Structure 1
Amino acid sequence: MTHSHPTEFEPSRASIIEHAQAVHSDLDAQLLAFSEEFRRVDLIYGAYGRRCGLSFSVYLIFDYICENDGTSQREICAYTLLPRQTVNNVINALISQGLLRLEGSRHDKRVKRIHLTDAGERYRQQVVTPVREAELQAMAALEPNERRAMIIYVDKFMNALERRIDGIES
């Protein structure tokens, strides 16, 4: 999708990225630029979900179920960090739409496993599969060394951030 004007996904302060790149010693500006780029991820997926008639939480949950057939509500909560009630409401709504079905766990009958129905699989092909294809195309737009570097640097930053935040006394 090509636009001659900024896309709806660009942060309102897009110039901060150029500023951060120009001012290499300004850690605050660089951190803000990095955070804005991560925030764009939520904006991009949220905007797509809305175009499909889904809230961000519904899209996030449905996407997770598509990638993790037989998951449980507890696993969805742990992955998405959404409240149990939100996940439960979304699951029930998707069941009532005929997209999901529940099945008792073989190991613990108290745990219900969540599966796509045939209608859910068709919906997956309409909604989730095009996003996966777009993600793969976007990744392919980077050179192999750029992809590796991106993963390495983000991982290095996240590990450092986690260590420092874990070290903060509350």
Structure 2
Amino acid sequence: MPDSIHDTLSAYYDFWFSCNALYEKWAKRQGITVNTLFVIYTVDAYPERCNQRLICEKLMLPKQTVNTILEALTKKGIVEKKADPSDKRNKRIVFTRTGTEYAGRLLKDLGAFEEKALGAMTREEREDFIRTSQIMLARLEEALNTDS
């Protein structure tokens, strides 16, 4: 167990980078990049209001990266851009019928991967994981807001 803030940060970074690497490996096995995986996840999670700006904000990805991913998904017939009835200047990103089926299978498999990992934890471990993650997020936000 880390006994200093430096040791804790080192362990945190090891966790963060390792977790990201595992998601990248999982995505690669599906024949996509991790960014593509999370763009598909975001389109699925926000079906009524998904647009390029929302994807960029949620995933903290540059506009050009998201645009490149969306163009590739459009060419594969997975997503399409539709006029947003509430704001004609924006285009909503929606799944095509093929995309709905593809995303459904992909996200079901992702859920099974994640559930296998979380299922190996006790309920208390899962609750502690979420609780401490939320505490860390709140403390980082506080530190950012008090930084000059």
Fraction of identical pairs, as percent: 24
Q: Which runs of 5+ in 2 are unaligned?
A: none
Based on CA coordinates, which of the two structures has the bigger radius of gyration? 1
Query: Could you tell me how far apart the structure 1 residues matched to 2:128 and 2:34 are?
Result: 29
Question: Which residue in the other structure is 1:86 paired with?
Answer: 65
Misfit runs of 4+, over 4 Å? none
Which of 5, 8, 11 aligns to 1:33? It is: 11
Query: Could you tell me how far apart the structure 2 residues matched to 1:49 and 1:138 are?
Result: 16
Query: Could you tell me how far apart the structure 2 residues matched to 1:52 and 1:108 are?
Result: 35
Larger relative strand fraction? 2
Larger relative helix fraction? 2
Which of 134, 138, 146 aligns to 2:117? It is: 138
Query: Could you tell me how far apart the structure 1 residues matched to 2:32 and 2:113 are?
Result: 18
Q: Which runs of 5+ in 1 are unaligned?
A: 1-20
> What are the residue-to-residue correspondences of 1:7-156 with 2, within 5 Å?
21=1, 24-70=2-48, 71-156=50-135
Residue 125 of structure 1 and its aligned partner are, at CA, apart by: 3.2
Query: Could you tell me how far apart the structure 2 residues matched to 1:165 and 1:90 are?
Result: 30
Normalised by the length of structure 1, the TM-score is 0.79
Root-mean-square deviation (CA, aligned residues, Å) is: 1.6
Higher relative contact order (CA 8 A, sep 6+): 2
Q: 3-state SS of the aligned residue for 1:103?
A: strand
Residue 95 of structure 1 and its aligned partner are, at CA, apart by: 0.8
Normalised by the length of structure 2, the TM-score is 0.89
Q: Deviations over 1:57-84 (max 9, x none)?
A: 2222122112222411110011011111
